[in-house]
Structure 1
Amino acid sequence: MSEVLTKTQRAVLWYPPAYDIRVETIPVPNILHPDDAIVKIKLSGLCGSDLHVYRGHEDVHDPLVCGHEFVGEVVALGPSFTPTSQGRPELYATLRIGDKVVSPFTISCGECQFCRRGVTCRCIHSQLFGIPNLPGGQAQYVRVPKAGGTLFKVDSITSSLSSGQDQVITDSSLLLLADILPTGVFAVLQALQHPKISPFINGVPYPFNSYLPDAVASSQPTTLSLQDRTLTLAVVGLGPVGVCATVSLLELLSDVHGIDYRIVAVDMNPSRREKMQAVLAAMSPSTKVDTVKVADIPEAKDTVALWTNGIGCNAVLEIVGNNSALSLAYELVGPFGLISSVGVHQAPQLPLTGREVYDKNVSFDFGRCPVRSMFPTAASILLKRQDVFGGVGETASLIEKVVSFDSAVDAYEAFDKGRCGKILFDPWM
């Protein structure tokens, strides 16, 4: 039976043209489509991507309910959700009122060709939470369209834990699955699964490291030596997503045997470098953190030049989403290298010429993370790295604090100015 909802709720709204955040009372959303769910928000996040709207950089001209990261409890379901549902995503048969859920920052149907291939960020029904047409999660309740293909049940994560251990998986930790941890994982996988990087992973030289016709593949040469499989990577930007990317990179590389790897983690902001150092200290000695050099921009360039004899990185993860970060990524990447960019780039044209990218044989992977498909990998890292992701306000915690909506105006301003780290909202405080 659905929860009897109040008629109104508190929510954080943005007003155009920029920097105008207000906390207002608005109607509680209703079921509008059979595939809808209504989720009662337990926690919502303030993300770096929210700042694009906040600063007026997006093409948005109407007020909106902010936020695209949330964890909560299902309180109402449309008629598509029934135990007899067949031929549709599993949640249409198994999701129940009272289930705790995490939502990706975009909706996905789970049924179109993009969703079937796992690229859920390009679902034909895709919409971003926190736009005028789809109110966001910085509210007490949110409507989730295509909920059977979008939502992720928390018990599918906690079921893998031993008895009693699920109590350590906090709502603040789970919220990281809505965006920033899967996005960090995506940045890593775009690199590690790329054919330019696979020779380092599988020890097979190009072009035999990937698909070839059988007649050619049968003449495969000998495997690469350990010296030729030393992988040098950089992470540009150490905000919350950059920290997630660095942690994910270390975790995923720890499963690859027979290679050496070195990582330079770059940010111009001293407080972000300090946070990254604290995170690495918390991960040691269980993880090979001595392979990571945390550096400012000049030191990063010198480090990469020293490590590679001036050649450059094999792959660079660009997390920031602006032209200066992309230019730095290009400086750090070596010939036949890869730049994996998950930052949200805006209107200015990219700062590279055709000659520059041609002369380095550099490959680029840009774009939005398919969060729904990243959930299983991201969840496994979340469970393993509760020393980083499980706390709030500790030296090595990714989340700095949880505040009420009454602090929303100040929180946006502080986050925008780089005076604080990751902030969560409790809409019931």
Structure 2
Amino acid sequence: MLIKSLSGIARFGFLRSREGNFSKMCHRTFSLDLSRAQSVSSMSYNNTGTMLAARWHYPSYDIRVEDVPVPQIEDPDDAVVKVTLAGLCGSDLHIYRGQQPITKVHITGHEFIGEVVKLGSNYGPNAARSTSGRPNLYATLSVGDKVVAPFTVNCGECHVCRLGYTGRCPVGALFGSPKLDGGQAQFVRVPKAGGTLYNLSSPASWSSALTATSDVETLLKNISDSSLLLLSDILPTGVFAATQLLAHPKVQPMLTGRSWPSSLNPSSPAIDLGSGLLTQEDRLLTIAMIGLGPVGVCAAVALLDALVQKGLPYRIVAIDINQSRREKMEKVYEAIGSDGKGQNGEFVVQGLEEAKETVTKWTGDIGCTGVLEVVGNNSALTAAYDLARPFGVITSVGVHAPKNVPFTGQDLYNKNISFDFGRCPARAMFPMAFELLVKRQDVFGKVGSESSLIDRVVDIRQASEMYRAFDQGQVGKVLFDPWDQL
């Protein structure tokens, strides 16, 4: 399918097909039908050929789809992947807008799913025996395997990776950056692929809580590529944001029903502060979420699921200045089954000023237990600080420009605010994200509906147009098909 222009964008940014039958377009274009898979598979890798790729050009707002040489194996640990779908992510916009100190032309995109078409010499049973102690994929990964990549390269062998902090591997790199070409192309080179990729063709090669109770191979066959692609970045990042918040020591009094610091060690005697045990009102979690783009929606779904699993009462205010994003969040919340939001919470979607009034009403001007910041700018951080209570927690997964944060040390001291900033270790979060993906196919399994996270799949030749529309808030989550034909 080729979407030729942005004319016809409806209320939520959905496009009608050229025949005017949106439902037929969705079925034809977005389902994993056999004919499409065969068409993609027939386009073999030729290491002397060229491919289509979206590339960023200096200084800003300049994406061009160009013919470039296909990637080569440069290191024995490399793999080359034929990309079946690639995602457009909010963090791609930071380079697009020229907000990073970058001048090098490069292939964009850090979200992709595809098929292995070439492996370096360090793969296979014999190679693995000579390099014992390495990730198991060096022994098992094969040409033809279906894989999804986290948005960063990680070796899987160093101290940092072994701790689970894979997003900061010392030899890692970010796909779609000057250091490493990205996946918005027909092929992509994956360094350290044995420590980076997840092999969807071999669920036995990775662990999940579902493996003990479910037929994961059958589950995978029933999940579309457009849904599985979310595992490369935005769904793990959403799960990471929710996990960071709920695991923070300052949130434990609400989770355990014990005052701080005895909440850190539930087996120890409770500390008597002279006012008895925590009341139900004390344990009511009040959380603000700032930013309702695709990552924010994933974080909201993950947070709701975690709160339901813990059986805790909650009040959540989801905030965005963009009305269409607020409307999307409302539709997503309506679509979530009761198993994903429970019966013991309140969830509202509002603009910033209204949200401040709501938090004041809910808490008597005390503030939120925690704030998830999923935007990545100083205005959002300032709002997060204003909304947080004393001893509050702010978890920020937005990608920030190289500017000073809008606080002084005195500001933070005066409210005992704790911050968690930074990049999601996506590969480490994969099992948790996969479990949520399976549970919430009511949100993550559809394309193009009011309540689906993904708005559309388009021909990669429309990359420049889609970047512009995404930057202006006219579209939501967009996926590129590198093999669609004019």
Q: Aligning the two structures, in what range does the TM-score lie when normalised by the shorter sequence?
A: over 0.9
* Cross-structure match for 2:439: 384
Please give the alpha-carbon distance, in whole angstroms, between the structure 2 residues aligned to 1:306 and 1:218.
Answer: 35
Equivalenced residues, count: 422
1:301 to 352, 356, 379: 356
Please give the alpha-carbon distance, in whole angstroms, between the structure 2 residues aligned to 1:211 and 1:110.
Answer: 32
Q: Secondary structure at the match of 1:248?
A: helix
Q: Secondary structure at the match of 1:209?
A: helix
1:319 to 366, 374, 380: 374
Distance 1:163 1:413, change over 3 A: closer
* Cross-structure match for 2:56: 14
* Cross-structure match for 2:200: 154
RMSD: 1.8
Pair 1:37-2:60 in alignment: no
Q: Which range moved further: 100-109 or 80-89? A: 80-89
Q: Secondary structure at the match of 1:294?
A: strand
Distance 1:420 1:196, change over 3 A: same
Please give the per-residue CA displacement for 1:84-116, whole angstroms capped at 9, x wherever unaligned.
423111211121111111101110001111101
1:247 to 279, 296, 301: 301
Please give the per-residue CA displacement for 1:368-390, whole angstroms capped at 9, x wherever unaligned.
11000010001100010011011
Which amino acid in 2 is paired with 1:228?
D
* Cross-structure match for 2:409: 354
* Cross-structure match for 2:283: 229
* Cross-structure match for 1:265: 318
1:332 to 387, 390, 395: 387
Please give the alpha-carbon distance, in whole angstroms, between the structure 2 residues aligned to 1:173 and 1:333.
Answer: 34
2:137 to 70, 73, 91: 91
1:184 to 238, 246, 254: 238
Matches within 5 A, 1:410-429: 410-429=465-484
* Cross-structure match for 2:181: 135
* Cross-structure match for 1:101: 147
1:193 to 226, 233, 247: 247
* Cross-structure match for 1:407: 462
Q: Secondary structure at the match of 1:278?
A: helix
Distance 1:315 1:64, change over 3 A: same
1:5 to 46, 52, 58: 46
How far does residue 288 in structure 1 lie from its aligned partner after superposition?
Answer: 2.7
Please give the alpha-carbon distance, in whole angstroms, between the structure 2 residues aligned to 1:162 and 1:10.
Answer: 34
Please give the alpha-carbon distance, in whole angstroms, between the structure 1 residues aligned to 2:45 and 2:228.
Answer: 26
Please give the alpha-carbon distance, in whole angstroms, between the structure 2 residues aligned to 1:14 and 1:4.
Answer: 24
Please give the alpha-carbon distance, in whole angstroms, between the structure 1 residues aligned to 2:45 and 2:184.
Answer: 21
How far does residue 56 in structure 1 lie from its aligned partner after superposition?
Answer: 0.7
Distance 1:131 1:165, change over 3 A: closer
Please give the alpha-carbon distance, in whole angstroms, between the structure 2 residues aligned to 1:163 and 1:355.
Answer: 53
> Contact (CA 8 Å) 2:234, 2:294: kept in 1 or not?
yes
Distance 1:12 1:387, change over 3 A: same
- TM-score of the superposition, structure 2-length normalised? 0.84
Q: Secondary structure at the match of 1:304?
A: helix
Which amino acid in 2 is paired with 1:130?
G
* Cross-structure match for 2:34: none
Q: Secondary structure at the match of 2:339?
A: coil
Q: Secondary structure at the match of 2:338?
A: coil
* Cross-structure match for 1:80: 122
Please give the per-residue CA displacement for 1:140-186, whole angstroms capped at 9, x wherever unaligned.
00000011111011242797447754333111101111111111111
Which amino acid in 2 is paired with 1:22?
R
User: Could you tell me the percent identity over the aligned residues?
Assistant: 55
* Cross-structure match for 1:374: 429
Which amino acid in 2 is paired with 1:381?
L
Please give the per-residue CA displacement for 1:309-352, whole angstroms capped at 9, x wherever unaligned.
11000000000000111111111110100000000111221111
* Cross-structure match for 1:209: 263
> Contact (CA 8 Å) 1:234, 1:316: kept in 2 or not?
yes
> Contact (CA 8 Å) 2:219, 2:438: kept in 1 or not?
no
Q: Secondary structure at the match of 2:264?
A: coil
How far does residue 133 in structure 1 lie from its aligned partner after superposition?
Answer: 2.5
> Contact (CA 8 Å) 1:168, 1:390: kept in 2 or not?
no
Please give the alpha-carbon distance, in whole angstroms, between the structure 1 residues aligned to 2:226 and 2:196.
Answer: 20
Q: Secondary structure at the match of 1:369?
A: coil
- TM-score of the superposition, structure 1-length normalised? 0.95
Q: Secondary structure at the match of 2:288?
A: strand
> Contact (CA 8 Å) 1:41, 1:142: kept in 2 or not?
yes
Distance 1:348 1:365, change over 3 A: same
Please give the alpha-carbon distance, in whole angstroms, between the structure 1 residues aligned to 2:401 and 2:385.
Answer: 18
How far does residue 225 in structure 1 lie from its aligned partner after superposition?
Answer: 3.4
- Stretches of structure 2 lacking an aligned partner (at least 5 in a row): 1-43
Following superposition, which runs of at least 4 residues in structure 1 exceed 6 angstroms of deviation? none
